[in-house]
Chain A
Amino acid sequence: GAVVSQHPSWVICKSGTSVKIECRSLDFQATTMFWYRQFPKQSLMLMATSNEGSKATYEQGVEKDKFLINHASLTLSTLTVTSAHPEDSSFYICTPADSFRNTEAFFGQGTRLTVV
């Protein structure tokens, strides 16, 4: 199956700092990456869709200036949480659209962000 590597797996940061999360597709080219967010005891909600070489599209209610997405290559997409606040504490997880092969869809390992 497709291999997706996401780092870091967990991070604790101080309020007001920025955190970068990386998502790499290791064995195929990912022209599109989906970023999901999962608050405690809730489901996964799509935050944004990044496309290689172009601007990301954000779901309603997601601040594009706070959650910066860069998809500069076919194997790497990054999500930067800028000026993080405690309410940004969540589980962030990525999945390349190209991993949506006929019968499977693979995710990164996820990043648990805690802002203190």
Chain B
Amino acid sequence: AQKITQTQPGMFVQEKEAVTLDCTYDTSDQSYGLFWYKQPSSGEMIFLIYQGSYDEQNATEGRYSLNFQKARKSANLVISASQLGDSAMYFCAMRERQTGANNLFFGTGTRLTVIP
């Protein structure tokens, strides 16, 4: 089974509007972390936001917020007030803390295009 599922291959959003990028995960660990990364055409992986499985509050970082619904195993990224520079690939990832592997599992990504 896929550990991370991103069902939206591509999304379009009007500049200054908000957009939600979906992410669901699968794990039997009780302790895990969820990450979102932005990958522009240059390829670098830019860390955006983190949510821990025990965090009761949804994470926020500037225009980024994470809608964490633990029971549904979803960790959607919300980008508010979209900017042209937000156009990029976005990856959701998970690290399972109990299994000991310590690496990140990535979803297939969502390509976001911001329209002027």
Is A102 touching B52 in the complex (CB atoms < 8 A)? yes
Look across to chain B and name the residue whose beta carbon is closest to the beta carbon of A110. Answer: B43
Q: In the complex, how many residue pairs between chain A and chain B have their CB atoms under 8 Å apart?
A: 52
Chain B interface residue bracket vs A: 10 to 19
Q: A43-B91, A46-B103, A105-B95 are in contact. Are A93 and B108 (CB under 8 A)?
A: no
Is B44 touching A105 in the complex (CB atoms < 8 A)? no
Q: Could you give 14 example pairs across A and B, Cβ below 8 Å?
A: A34-B104, A44-B91, A44-B106, A45-B106, A49-B103, A93-B43, A95-B45, A95-B104, A100-B95, A100-B102, A103-B33, A105-B35, A105-B104, A110-B43
User: Apart from A106-B47, A112-B43, what are 19 other A-B pairs with CB-CB below 8 Å?
Assistant: A1-B47, A32-B102, A42-B108, A43-B91, A43-B108, A46-B103, A91-B43, A93-B43, A100-B95, A100-B102, A100-B104, A102-B33, A102-B52, A103-B52, A105-B35, A105-B47, A105-B93, A107-B45, A109-B43
